[in-house]
Structure 1
Amino acid sequence: MYGGYFGLFVNMLGEEGERWDMFRAFDRQLPKMEDLDKYDGFVVTGSKSDAHGNAVWILELCQLLRCCYQMRIKVLGICFGHQILSRALGGKVSRSSAGWDGSMEKDCIEFNKYCMVQVTEIPCGADIIAFSNKTEIEMFSMDDHILGIQGHPEYSSDILFNLMDNLCNEGILTEEMVKKAKNSVEQYNNVYEREIWQQICKRFLKYTII
């Protein structure tokens, strides 16, 4: 309906003249190690899978992310990407003791989030740069080429509502949980602040920080 994760992120971050490639990590489709230096950066999106799992593709992705870090290639991780990036570089992730978190977090700037897994410990040398009442590590950075964000700057409220309804229909969420989450999003949703989050992601990927 919304172009898939690839479409969402290219629409959010892409600019004329750029080339974006898609790799389906869960199908064990990853760039070759010898081709990594051909890319200016990578974005690891959300996933239905748990970042603390040990499926072969997850372990292969972790290895790839470690190589990107060593080569100082920029990596932006969103939700699952945030979690797997932390794990790959020595941090820890686990299922949230509070269960599903579907809300519009009101931090310094607001953003959509919908998750059940969270980063519990950042890698050695990383910095926590955002937190909330529900999640101690909403964002972390490492040097100038690693950025992890727990929330979903690519999600509009329509996308989030559609996701909630699907999870409710599948019996994963209750109607009461969905109602509460939707109320949170409707109360705090701010298109302007969502654009700020998108600009944070774009500037991280495209500009050199000195």
Structure 2
Amino acid sequence: MVTDGDQKRYCMLMAVRDSDYVKKVYGGYFNVFLKAFAEEGEQWELFRVVDGEFPDMDDLHKYHGFVISGSPSDAYGNELWILKLCFLLQTLDAMEKKVLGICFGHQVLCRALGGKVGKAYGGWDLGLRKIRIVEDLPFCNNFFGALHDIPPSLTIIECHQDEVWEVPLGAKVIGFSEQTGVEIFVIGKHILGIQGHPEYTKDILYEIINRLTSNKLIEKEVAEDAKSRLEIGEPDRKSWVKICKNFLKAGDYCP
């Protein structure tokens, strides 16, 4: 990408290692995120936090936004890299840097900032899920775009067995589903957590479901139910990608 001094810089905090499938088809998860969120003239830098790679604390001010990926790890775990990530997120919150957390990223953001996460009471959530958006968004921010453009619900790809139990003090829940009470939360104008996967395409989830089934991590009935829901519906991927990009890149204003 272009590397002039005026370009916007974004930081990708990768909490998952590339699967063989994603490496073969997409060249790695980083490319999946780039295809979804990146635009011409931006610089995106990758840090594989799952392997202990973190941005230098002295460089944090240089980034316009940060994205935390999903992960098979538990956001409530105490591995060193997870604890270090929590400290980084606390620092970014104090700096009021924009941070987008997806799935594990959503959960670890919540944990780092004082909320509670744990195993999902309803078990695995795999496949398509309809998210209800609250009618009166409790903040003044333009990342959802004009209010009249927001449908009352949006469908997203889900792939998780953990969930947010309790949001941090000052957070607002702005999306929920029949399965999960905290699908989307915000803190001020700089923190956005999304439980689902805006960046996923259906083929990525199909492969994950097959892998989970082969490794006996989910029952065949769960896998078949998830696949059947994928076959009869489509995620509102364009809308989710637009929301994420607007959050990361648009200026804050009160209309």
TM range (shorter): over 0.9
Is residue 2:178 matched to residue 1:133? Answer: yes
Deviates more, 1:84-93 or 1:174-183: 174-183
Q: Which amino acid aligns with 1:8?
A: V
Q: What SS class does the counterpart of residue 170 from structure 2 fall into? A: coil
Aligned partners of 1:106 and 1:188 also within 8 Å = no
Q: What SS class does the counterpart of residue 61 from structure 2 fall into? A: helix
Is residue 2:156 matched to residue 1:111? Answer: yes
Is residue 2:197 matched to residue 1:173? Answer: no
In structure 1, what is the Cα distance between the partners aligned to 2:216 and 2:246?
Answer: 39
Specify the alignment match of 2:238 in structure 1: 195
Q: What per-residue deviation string (whole Å, max 9, x for no partner) do you get for residues 111-154 of structure 1? A: 00010010111010010010001000000000001000000011
Aligned partners of 2:127 and 2:205 also within 8 Å = no
Aligned partners of 1:13 and 1:202 also within 8 Å = yes
Q: What per-residue deviation string (whole Å, max 9, x for no partner) do you get for residues 95-125 of structure 1? A: 1122211121123010000100101110100
Match of 2:201 among 152, 156, 163: 156
Q: What SS class does the counterpart of residue 167 from structure 1 fall into? A: helix
Aligned partners of 2:26 and 2:32 also within 8 Å = yes
Specify the alignment match of 1:58 in structure 2: 82
Q: How does 1:1-210 map to 2 (within 5 A)?
A: 1-107=25-131, 108-190=153-235, 193-210=236-253
Q: What SS class does the counterpart of residue 182 from structure 1 fall into? A: helix
Any stretches of 5+ residues in structure 2 without a counterpart? 1-24, 132-152
In structure 2, what is the Cα distance between the partners aligned to 1:48 and 1:128?
Answer: 24
Any stretches of 5+ residues in structure 1 without a counterpart? none
Cα displacement (A) at 1:179: 0.6
In structure 1, what is the Cα distance between the partners aligned to 2:27 and 2:164?
Answer: 28
Q: Which amino acid aligns with 2:204?
A: I
Q: What per-residue deviation string (whole Å, max 9, x for no partner) do you get for residues 20-45 of structure 1? A: 11111111111111110011111000
Cα displacement (A) at 1:2: 2.6
The structure with the greater share of residues assigned to helix is 1
Q: Using the aligned pairs only, state the percent identity.
A: 47
Q: What SS class does the counterpart of residue 151 from structure 1 fall into? A: coil
